Amino acid sequence: MSHPESLKASEVASIAFVLICCFAASLGMAFNIDGIKESFNLTNADAGKLISLEMFSIALGNFFFARLTHIANSKKVFFIGASVIFLFNLLSVLATDPVHLAFFRIPTGLALGAVAATCAGRIARSDKPDINFGVINSAVGLMGVVMAFTLPRAMGLDFAFSSYFNLTGIDGLYLVYGVCALFAVLIAFRTPHNNEQKSQAMDQSAENLRVGWFALLGIGIMFFGHGSVGLFIVRIGREIGISAENIGYIFMVGSSLGIVLPLIAGWIGTRVRAFFPILILVILLAMATTALSISDSAWQYFLVVPIFATLPTAIMPIFLGCLARTDSSGKLAASHVAFVLSGTSAAPFIGGVLIDTGGFGLAGGFSVFMIMLGAFLISPMVLKADRQEMLS
């Protein structure tokens, strides 16, 4: 029989630090898609294909390693994964066309998927998954503040090494991501060792696994809907007439909320039944998505973006806490990134097509429908976890 793993605060912090440094490029996806579009003179849909490919590779790596998270040496996975991400982030700077860039982003994504699965598996098997997932998502919010300040300035890079090679726009972003991955490599050895006795997987009932997989499908659909608008959030601001630097400041406000909300959500997840908090957050997310998609003024954009960007980070600690109670082996929770990014990987392309066809309003309506559909699919798992919590 498996027992929850007691992780010290410093151990949770080290895992969170490695994750957010490896995840820097994913946190900057909205800037990436704008930088790729401008650097290679692509349409929204074509730029979206590149982002979709990278996200799909993250999902593939995550899904594969989620099956192994209970037996893998997490310290080695963190170190090797961060090293691969570091190498290919730097190689991405050398890309001279979209094909070369895609070639470098695929292994980056696979390695990130492995790191994310290993991180989620360790946290799901801990004795306080709700609050620990809250800490992880809060760290993501903190990293979002750093990226929101740094990336708009990195996009302004214009440095010529020679008449044949110079660094501009998107190159600055990948240099930042490379530096972040280097920090992850250095901290990987500070993460906790595996406890073999506590890393054994438990057999789960067929019903638990079934509702868990449906919930993962639902969260993927929700993030697909969110990303169909969210990954073009920089484009929305630019078309309103807001500069990249000012968009970055708005993101900093949102990311600051993203530091606090996951901690609050994780705390709530340990004290009340999860269904109604998630329902309220989903309704607010649908309203914010609608408002953002029809935004036509700077003040409206400024008010909506922080809410739209941070509500998913408030939903996730509660959702993952429920998933950890449904499957104590950690495999389902470790797979969540695969489902989130499988959905999100299609969002740049589908969102780009919708925007090119009918504008941001069409994409927004589609996004709201997908968010509500996803919420419907996760409900059985959340209700089951609530019942289990009442009986424990």
* Whether the predicted pLDDT of 291 surpasses 50: yes
Quick one: which of 275, 337, 350 has its CA closest to 137? 337
The sign one gets for the Cα dihedral 254, 259, 265, 271 is negative
Cα–Cα distance, 140 to 263 (Å, whole number): 11
Complete domains list, the chain, with CATH: 9-391 (1.20.1250.20)
Residue 122: both structure tokens together? 């360790």
User: Hey, which residues does 126 pair with through a beta bridge?
Assistant: 5
Residue 339: both structure tokens together? 């489902």
Confidence of residue 198 (pLDDT cuts 50, 70, 90): very low
**Exposure string for 322-356, b = 16+ CB within 10 A, e = fewer:** bbbbbbbbbbbbbbbbbbbbbbbbbbbbbbbbbbe
Section 147-156 average pLDDT: 83
What DSSP element (H or E) covers 118? helix 98-124
Question: What single DSSP character describes residue 191?
Answer: S
Cα–Cα distance, 275 to 209 (Å, whole number): 19
What pLDDT does residue 197 have?
46
What pLDDT does residue 201 have?
46
The 10s digit of each residue's pLDDT in 57-116 is 988 888 888 777 767 788 899 999 999 999 999 999 888 888 888 899 999 999 999 998
Cα–Cα distance, 349 to 352 (Å, whole number): 5
Quick one: which of 32, 14, 245 has its CA closest to 139? 14
What pLDDT does residue 153 have?
83
- Measured at the CA of 52, the angle between CA 46 and CA 57, to 5 degrees, comes to 140
This prediction's pTM: 0.75
* Whether the predicted pLDDT of 378 surpasses 60: yes
Q: Which residues contact 79 (CB under 8 A, 6 or more apart)?
A: 185, 188, 189
Contact 21, 116 (CB under 8 A): no
Residue 20: both structure tokens together? 């957010």
- Beta strands 166-168 and 158-160 are antiparallel
Quick one: which of 216, 215, 237, 184 has its CA closest to 26? 184
- What's the whole-number average pLDDT of the chain? 83
Confidence of residue 200 (pLDDT cuts 50, 70, 90): very low
